[in-house]
Amino acid sequence: MAIEPQELFNFVRPLDAVQVATQDADLPNRIGEPTPQGEVLRRITFQPAEQPSVRLTPQNGSWDWSQQALVSLRVQNAMDWALTLDVLIESVDGQRLSTRIALPAGPAQALLIPLQAVSPRDQGMRAGVPMPWMHKGQRLLLADTVSGALDLSKVSALTLSVPQPKAAQDILISQFGVSSEQLTRAAYAEIVDSYGQFTRANWPGKIQRDAQLQQAVAEEQAQLQGWLAERPAQDKFGGWTGGQPFEASGFFRTEKRDGRWFLVSPEGHPFYSLGVNAVTAEQSATYVEGREAMFTDLPQEGNALTAYFGTSDSRSDTGANQGRAFASGRWFNFYKANLQRSYGQVDPAAWRALSQDRLQAWGFNTLGNWSEPAFGGDSRMPFSIPLSIHGDYATISTGVDWWGAMPDPFDPRFAMATERAVAIASRDHRDNPWLLGYFADNELAWAGPASDPNGRYALAYATLRLTTDVPAKRAFLKQLRDKYRNQNGLSRAWGIELQAWELIEDPGFQAPLPSAEFPAIEQDMQAFLRLFAETYFKTIADSLDWHAPNHLLLGGRFASSIPEAVGACARFCDVLSFNFYTREPQQGYDFAALRQLDKPLMITEFHFGSRDRGPFWGGVAEVYNEAERGPAYAHFLSKALEEPQVVGVHWFQYLDQPVTGRLLDGENGHLGLVAITDRPWVGFVKAVRKANLAVAKSVLQPAPEPVTKIP
């Protein structure tokens, strides 16, 4: 049965049951206007202003929606582009429920807002199913992210608004009502086909039958062999032989020449690291347990593809997993199932050989972070290793903690955990010339939330709120005591009245915020952060110097960062590394400050995703459609080449993520060079290859002309 909301108000046939108030918005026509589909709706014009709005309230008292599940609005975008619409629902007690809708251009639909907080995480994924969708003959747009709460028995208002329009924006609207029908389960039913693809859309290259996969395998092999033959002249490690050589050391190293930093291959040739992260078949599984209705055709008992089921538990209290459902239980790996469909088996060695053929044919020369460890024994492409340091050492929360709280580097147990991690990571690679280097962990939460004006010093403030059994707090207190001697000196410097030194030792101590009147506050916060960062990076560097003296320490893969951490990384690491999800590298950090550090720099993650090839999330850096991904890649790389300290860029990632989310955290983005079906995205790959093959010409310095001796 189609959704039949209980109508509360109709803009075309208004009654006195609802009051309509506008702010910087107009209803220009007293009567409705017909649409091409024969429907009559009424126009609302939102004028250029901060938040033009239309507010609906009951004529008397409040609405009792305690038996309802959804608000329904019959609405159409009257513009030729997608329009952002904010919906706010309030109850008498001041509680609020809100959502932001991307209202697409096109015909009218029922806009449905759940009357409780919801998120795609409730379905186990980063981004929700695309909207609108056709359900029982109706076009429905179900809000997938709603925040807040309401007293549903006393609802007082509903407000529609457009945030900061630069020009007048119009929508067409008719019915406003409520419904008791639950539609979330229907919205997510049968959204993934037997190949792991989204069922409700089509695109070039979508697989319909096994024969397509097998035919594509043969065609790709011929293309790869031709492309591999067209690479620039290079040594066996991928260093370019067409330029002025460096001294060969037998291992990767860095050197600055004529104002530009270089990575140098073990054979002494310039090497610009063009890498790809997560080149692995092991990160393509998705949880199916409890979500079986989302999948149209999971393999049944007796089918050979049941070999690609397994079980895991990804539940954790990190920010990446907070509030996520379906994070444990039985999973299925669609990518491996598609490998078997394509090649008749899943042979790890053959898969690695094909992957390296592809990457080298596409102009890449490095296997980035989280790639299959077995690549390290293939002696074919340089690779990197992440130092994932885990242990029972103390940690400090900055309020972000996406991958966990910050390690306390003053805790002796951190040094022990570092020693153990480095020893294990370097055990089989101490003298491996193919190893580019090691990364010091990944995307640590050096700063607090961007919305916090004091997030810059969140680590310092959080440390002072801890108990004195935390080594970092003892280190901070010692630093302050050495400087101020007693509470009187600290009180004068910070503008506070500290009656006894012991009060700063108390848990929950709240230090004053930085101020121009008391500059010592900020200076002391910076001094502690500098000590913290130097202790962290020095601990890792010292351990690596002992266990792997021939290999590079490639920095901390900063996402959020503070100047003290970046400076410490430059001091103790061989290379700085940043993950930049921006249109250009220069938009990710102040490169003038980086130039002052005079250190080689790698961009260890960047990508451009879209939502028109199946997976629902467009990534951290999203472009409008698939056709824009290639130009965005080429532009980013060209801007990186303008910076003489940048020695490489690494794309995240090799494969698209599963439609229903990867095991780790539910990410479900179209970010890959290759689809879940193991078919490369041909147009994107061609654009990437063209950009990569032009890098040598940009970076290489010509070799000196041989000197002819005059007899």
**Which part of the chain has CATH 2.60.120.430?**
6-183
pLDDT at 71 > cutoff 50: yes
Report the pLDDT value the prediction gives residue 179, as an integer from 0 to 100. Answer: 94
Name the band, by pLDDT with cuts 50, 70 and 90, for residue 707: low
The one-letter amino acid code at 631 reads P
**Which part of the chain has CATH 3.20.20.80?**
210-230+272-381+580-699
Name the band, by pLDDT with cuts 50, 70 and 90, for residue 604: very high
The one-letter amino acid code at 254 reads T
Phi–psi pair at 288, nearest 5 degrees? -115, -20
Phi–psi pair at 246, nearest 5 degrees? -115, 175
For residue 310, list its beta bridge partners: 331
Angle between helices 334-343 and 210-228 (to 10 degrees): 80
DSSP 8-state symbol, 538: H
Segment 230-258 mean pLDDT: 95
CA 96, CA 314: separation in Å to the nearest integer?
32
Report the pLDDT value the prediction gives residue 12, as an integer from 0 to 100. Answer: 78
Q: Over pLDDT 70: what percentage of the chain?
A: 98
Report the pLDDT value the prediction gives residue 3, as an integer from 0 to 100. Answer: 63
Q: Count the helix, strand and coil residues of the chain and give each as a percent rounded to the nearest 5.
A: 30, 25, 50
The one-letter amino acid code at 310 reads G
Segment 361-370 mean pLDDT: 98
* Model pLDDT for residues 619-651, shown as the tens digit of each residue: 999 999 999 999 999 999 999 999 999 999 999
Are 169 and 46 spatial neighbours (Cβ–Cβ below 8 Å)? yes
**For residue 341, what is the enclosing H or E element?**
helix 334-343
Name the band, by pLDDT with cuts 50, 70 and 90, for residue 1: very low
* Model pLDDT for residues 116-145, shown as the tens digit of each residue: 999 999 999 999 999 999 999 999 999 999
Residue count of the chain, please give it. Answer: 711
Mean of per-residue pLDDT scores for the chain = 95
Segment 429-451 mean pLDDT: 93
Angle between helices 487-494 and 520-547 (to 10 degrees): 110
Report the pLDDT value the prediction gives residue 449, as an integer from 0 to 100. Answer: 87
Segment 473-487 mean pLDDT: 97
Encode 117-155 in three state secondary structure: CECHHHHCCCCCCCCCEEECCEEEEECCCEEECCCCCCE
Segment 426-446 mean pLDDT: 95
CA 230, CA 682: separation in Å to the nearest integer?
18
CA 655, CA 339: separation in Å to the nearest integer?
13
Please name the fold of domain 6-183: Jelly Rolls (2.60.120)
Name the band, by pLDDT with cuts 50, 70 and 90, for residue 384: very high
pLDDT at 703 > cutoff 60: no
Report the pLDDT value the prediction gives residue 307, as an integer from 0 to 100. Answer: 97
Are 621 and 581 spatial neighbours (Cβ–Cβ below 8 Å)? yes
Name the band, by pLDDT with cuts 50, 70 and 90, for residue 702: low
Class level of CATH domain 210-230+272-381+580-699: alpha beta
A 10 A CB-CB count for 196 gives 25
**For residue 600, what is the enclosing H or E element?**
none
- Which of 597, 563, 693 lies closest to 261 in space, CA to CA? 597
Predicted model pTM:
0.95
Q: What are the structure tokens assigned to 215, written together?
A: 């035919």
* Model pLDDT for residues 529-571, shown as the tens digit of each residue: 999 999 999 999 999 999 999 999 999 999 999 999 999 999 9
